Structure 1
Amino acid sequence: MSVLLVSAVAPPIIADQSDRAVVNAPLTLLTAPIDGEVGSLSKQIRNAVEPGDSLARISNARVDESALMALEQKTSDERAKLEATKQKKESDRAYVNALDSEISSQTETLRTQFQSEIVALRAKVAESDSLSGAKKALVDRQSTLVARNVASMDMLNPTKAQYSAALHNADAERAKLNQKIAQLDALQKGIYVGDDLVAIGILVQKRRDISLDATRMQIEEKELSASLRDHQSLVDKERQRLAILADADVTASTPGTILTMGVTPGRRVNAGDAVASLVDCDKRFVAAIFSYRQSQSMKVGTRVHIDNADFKSGIVEAILPKTTDKVDERYAVPFPQTERRELYAIITPDERDSEVVNSEPVATSSETTPCTVGQWVTVTKDKALIPSMSVTWHRAEKLIASWNADKGPAPGDSKKSTLSAGIAALIAEFRSAASAAQPAVP
């Protein structure tokens, strides 16, 4: 009996069977995207979800809107500056148009005036040339008379003086004519020089200054428009951010089944708090512990039988020497703790196995968790020869309990007879397990 008890609790070394196996599945943790209060829950534990399905809605009435108010104030200031700049630009352009009209009118008036003065000066020049020609002829005639001693020099000298004066007068009139012609040419070329052009020159300078100011207003308008667009974009983005922070749905990103719900309606949560967890039942597996001595026989591809699960067979997909806490976080339940010189056999359900096994009920089976995640199962290699002592002991214990319940205690039975009966039943169980493990002989 002592040997049996020791073998039952000792680590299996060469057993082809293990009851240190648990059903596991990949875990996806859903967290709260914002701070707020949980509203209604649209899903419950064990409900299947698809990507995009909403599990809960979170509302936050205490969103800080100070940044939005500051941005809106800046946007309002930029818009007011832009409107003032547009009005100043339009005013400058209207003033420039008025100056252009005034300059054009005065230019046309001066052009007409200069043309009239040029005509008059040309007449005066012609008159002066004619007068100087007459005086020259008179001087020549009197000079001939003086040369013949018919007339005296007293008569010739005044005539020469008059002739010289006529020449100077003709030159003066010609100079005035040239000046007016030059002023007319300058006026037509936009060069405003001279006393007659001072007024129009002042208007042209003022027009140039106002035009430059209008150009500056146009440049400033473009800068303010770009700045206003940037501020408005920031306001829109801030409003979108606040809308997201005010109401948000907790949605599933992957398909799965809800394993846990960590919140209730009305509960206050912070961003990042766990709301629910999902398990992917399509990727469930069994993590079973075997001895290192079984690494050759439990290689990848080995078929096994599984008891106490809703699938009766599986295939070894991987062999892991150990695991870590970081790896455990990605699954619904932690991997069972291994002892020295033990390993994990990762077993996936056999796709060809579509039947559901009515195994012995387990207290924490599928009644509380989806797809039997977290349920302890027994894994037996196909054509197993050496059963696990702990499994055999457990079965024998249940057999003895059922045998005692059926027979009932006899009045004269002693503890020794009860123990003998239990040992006999245990030996029979061992023999039945060994015979079941032997391959059939044709």
Structure 2
Amino acid sequence: MIDRSNGATARKHQAILRVSAVGVAGLLSILMVTAVAPPIVADQSDRAVVNAPVTLLTAPISGEIDALTALPGSDVRDGDRLAQIRNPRLDRSTLISLEEKSSDARQKLDATRAKRESDLAYVASLDTELASQTDQLRAQFQSQIEELRARVAQSNAMSGEKKALVERQNNMVTRAAASIEMVRPTAQQYNAALHNADAETAKLNQKQAQLGALNRGVYVGDELIALNNLAQKRRDIGLDAKRMEIEEKQLSAVLADLESMIDLEQSRLASLSAADVLSRGGGKVLTIGAAAGRHVNAGDTISSIVDCDKRFVVAIFSYRQGQNMMPGTRVRIDGSSFRSGIISAVLPKTSDKADERFAVPFPQTERRELYAIITPDGADGNGSQAQQAATSGVPACPVGQWVTVTRDNGVVPSMSVSWRRLGHFVASWTRDAGLHTDTAQNSPLDSDTRRAGLDRLQAAFHSPRPQAEKPDEDREPGARALASQ
């Protein structure tokens, strides 16, 4: 009897061990299947976050922040001044050098202009003197020409007289009334009279040529040497005046260029001495990267502004769902003010440089996963954000909020979402059962209550519930500030 009872007990223990091993193996298999298989083919993802583009406002100049009016989470409009920067320590050496060059050029220009005016005045006086002496010489030449004309006429008359005398004596010689020796002196006097007439005519022509040259401004002759020197000096002074005029134009152009450069340098220094950091579009202030009184360099980030009207959802799905998550696919969004949306793009990966353009970094993907960019319905409508926030009680700008994305008509849920919903249901069921036990004084549940519990358990795996947000440590401080608005 003892041996039989011991054998039955041993077989019972072995059966219990086998059942326990099979149960543990089955449980591990279920856990492995639910942990590996559903994420690959799941139509649902809780690794989704609300994101929005940000605008970085940088310091246009180096200096100290004199005033800072931006606060994290505050609303701003296009053109609002968020900060004021001043820089009293500017390098003005370039401006000083340009002003010195401008002063030298202005002094040279004034000296050149004065020299030119002096030359012009001297030229005017020389012109007056030349005109006066030319008039005197012209009158003198006119009188000399008249005198020479009279002498030419006199010489012609004397030559005519001598010619008549020679002819009479030649007639007398022909008639043998006089000798040939008597004609020779008279012929010589006649030749002398002809030469004298030619000389007077030559002098007359010379004076007429000098008068014509004088009228044309050509000074030839002994009488015109002084006037020629005066005209030469006038030409030299006139050329110097022309040279001063050219130099004056050059200096004027140089001075104009220097004044233009001075104006540009003054404008540059004015822009570098003080500047305002203005908002380039509306939105909410996400972060503040500086404080009042702090020294910043040009290009340092002062603030970042998130445009909540252009918000979108970034969700992670398996690459096997790429065909099901094509652009244009409608999805459901749980846990935020918007309930649905359309996939606008599918990205295989992202980078740190691309993440800088958005309010929060994209969630980290694992191997063979992709990003689905979802545009919520009504995200670009005017006033939709405030209305949704007022009706649903969720943050007005839910940037950084974790949500659950489910493809419309999706059949494979995410196991993490299912386990969480099951935990919520069990917790609520336990609380409801405790309350019912307290009120019914531990009365047994009937078949209707058991059936209702099973129906609620089945509905928990299929009906969406708002997902709890991820811990705040996973989000940036600016996103937490916006979510708390």
TM-score (norm 2): 0.77
Q: Tell whether 2:300 aligns with 1:277.
A: no
Contact kept, 8 Å, 1:68 with 1:235, in 2: the verdict is yes
Q: Distance in 2 between matches of 1:300 and 1:144?
A: 144
Partner of residue 340, structure 1: 367
- Is 1:215 the counterpart of 2:235? The answer is no
Question: How far did residue 403 of structure 1 move?
Answer: 6.7
Q: Report the Cα offset of residue 94 of structure 1.
A: 1.5
Once the two structures are TM-superposed, the CA of residue 235 in structure 1 deviates from its matched residue by 0.8
Residue 407 (structure 2) aligned to one of 373, 377, 381: 381
312-321 or 254-263: bigger deviation: 312-321
Change (3 A) 1:436 1:187: closer
Q: Are 1:394 and 2:420 counterparts?
A: yes
Percent identity between matched residues is 58
Residue 180 (str. 1) matches residue 232 (str. 2): no
Contact 2:421 2:461 in 1 (8 A): no
What is aligned with 1:67?
Answer: 94
Residue 339 of structure 1, CA deviation: 2.0
For residue 400 of structure 1, report the CA deviation from its aligned partner: 5.3
Return the letter of the residue paired with 1:392.
Answer: S
The equivalent position to 1:230 in structure 2, one of 245, 253, 257, is: 257
Match of 1:173, SS state, is helix
Alignment equivalent of 1:319, drawn from 346, 349, 354: 346
Quick one: which amino acid aligns to residue 390 of structure 1? Answer: S
Query: What amino acid maps onto 1:378 in structure 2?
Result: T
Does structure 2 conserve the Cα–Cα contact (< 8 Å) formed by 1:35 and 1:245? yes
Q: CA deviation at 1:109?
A: 0.9
The answer to whether the 8 A contact 1:306-1:379 is kept is: yes
Q: Confirm or deny: 8 A CA contact 1:8 1:393 kept in the other structure.
A: no
Give distance in 1, aligned partners of 2:255 and 2:265: 15
Question: C-alpha offsets along residues 145-180 of structure 1, whole Å, 9 cap, x if unaligned?
Answer: 556665566655544444443333333222222221
* 1:376 shift after superposition: 1.3
Identify which of 370, 373, 398 aligns with 1:372.
Answer: 398
Pair 1:357–1:196, CA change in 2 (3 A): closer
Once structures 1 and 2 are overlaid, which stretch shifts more, 268-277 or 286-295? 286-295
One-letter amino acid of the structure 1 residue matched with residue 125 of structure 2: A
Supply the AA of the counterpart residue of 2:234. Answer: R
Distance 1:249 1:428 in 2: 63
Is the 1:392–1:430 Cα contact (8 Å) retained in structure 2? Answer: no
Secondary structure at the aligned position of 1:371 is classed as coil
Secondary structure of residue in 1 paired with 2:39: coil
Aligned residues of 1:392 and 1:429 also touching (Cα < 8 A):
no
Distance of aligned partners of 1:181 and 1:13 in 2 relative to their CA distance in 1, 3 Å threshold: closer
> What does 1:10-25 correspond to in 2, within 5 Å?
10=36, 12-25=39-52
Are positions 1:287 and 2:314 aligned together?
A: yes
Give the whole-Å Cα distance in 2 for the aligned partners of 1:358 and 1:401.
28
Structure 1 residues 334 and 9 mapped into 2: Cα distance closer, same or farther (>3 Å)?
farther
User: Where do 1:43-122 residues align within 5 Å?
Assistant: 43-122=70-149
For residues 102 and 462 of structure 2, the distance between their equivalents in structure 1, rounded to whole angstroms, comes to 88
Superposed displacement of residue 217, structure 1: 1.6
Call closer, same or farther: CA 1:291–1:427 in 2, change over 3 Å.
farther
Q: Kindly state the Cα deviation for residue 359 of structure 1 after the two structures are TM-superposed.
A: 7.7
Give the residue type in structure 2 aligned to 1:375. Q
Structure 2 Cα separation of the partners of residues 316 and 107 of structure 1: 102
**1:20 partner SS:** strand
* Bigger mean CA offset, 288-297 vs 150-159: 150-159
- Contact 2:53 / 2:310 at 8 angstroms: preserved in 1? yes
Matched residues in 2 for 1:126 and 1:388: separation?
142
Letter in 1 for 2:306: V
Amino acid at match of 1:393: W
Matches of 2:365 and 2:29, distance apart in 1: 23
Q: CA deviation at 1:427?
A: 8.4
Q: How far, CA to CA, are the matches of 1:351 and 1:199 in structure 2?
A: 102
| Partner secondary structure for residue 263 of structure 1 | coil
> 2:55 & 2:41 partners in 1: Cα distance?
36
CA gap of 1:356–1:380, structure 2 versus 1, over 3 A, is farther
Give the whole-Å Cα distance in 2 for the aligned partners of 1:360 and 1:108: 110
Task: Provide the alpha-carbon RMSD of the alignment.
Answer: 3.1
Corresponding residue number in structure 2 for 1:266: 293
2:98 counterpart letter in structure 1: L
Give the one of 231, 240, 257 matched to 1:204.
231
Is residue 46–residue 402 contact of structure 2 (8 Å, CA) maintained in 1?
yes
The residue aligned with 1:417 is none
Q: Which moves more between the two structures, 166-175 or 69-78?
A: 166-175
| Letter aligned with residue 372 of structure 1 | P
Distance in 2, Cα, partners of 1:394 & 1:358:
26
Letter in 2 for 1:211: G
Deviation at 1:333, TM superposition (A): 1.3
Distance 2:412 2:198 in 1: 144
Q: Match for 2:50: what amino acid?
A: V
Q: 1:342 to 1:133 in 2, by over 3 A?
A: closer
**CA distance, structure 2, for counterparts of residue 269 and residue 8 of structure 1:** 53
Q: CA shift at 1:206, angstroms?
A: 1.4
Aligned match of 2:154: 127
* Structure 1 contact 308–359 (Cα < 8 Å) conserved: no
Which structure's residues are more often helix, by fraction?
A: 2
Unpaired runs of 5+ in structure 1?
A: 409-425, 438-442
Does 2:283 correspond to 1:240?
A: no
Letter in 1 for 2:374: I
Match of 2:376 in 1: 349
Q: Matches of 1:88 and 1:67 in 2, distance apart?
A: 31
Q: Which amino acid counterpart does residue 62 of structure 2 have in structure 1?
A: D
Structure 2 residue matching 1:45: 3-state secondary structure: coil
SS state at 1:348 partner: strand
Structure 1 counterpart of 2:193, one-letter code: A
Consecutive unaligned residues of structure 2, counting only runs of 5 or more, are: 1-26, 436-452, 465-485
Q: 2:474 matched to which residue of 1?
A: none
The separation in 1 between residues aligned to 2:115 and 2:275, in whole angstroms, is 47
In 1, Cα distance between equivalents of 2:390 and 2:199: 134
Instruction: Name the structure 2 match of 1:420.
Output: none
- Which amino acid in structure 2 is aligned with residue 98 of structure 1? S
Of stretches 118-127 and 47-56 in structure 1, the one that deviates more from structure 2 is: 47-56
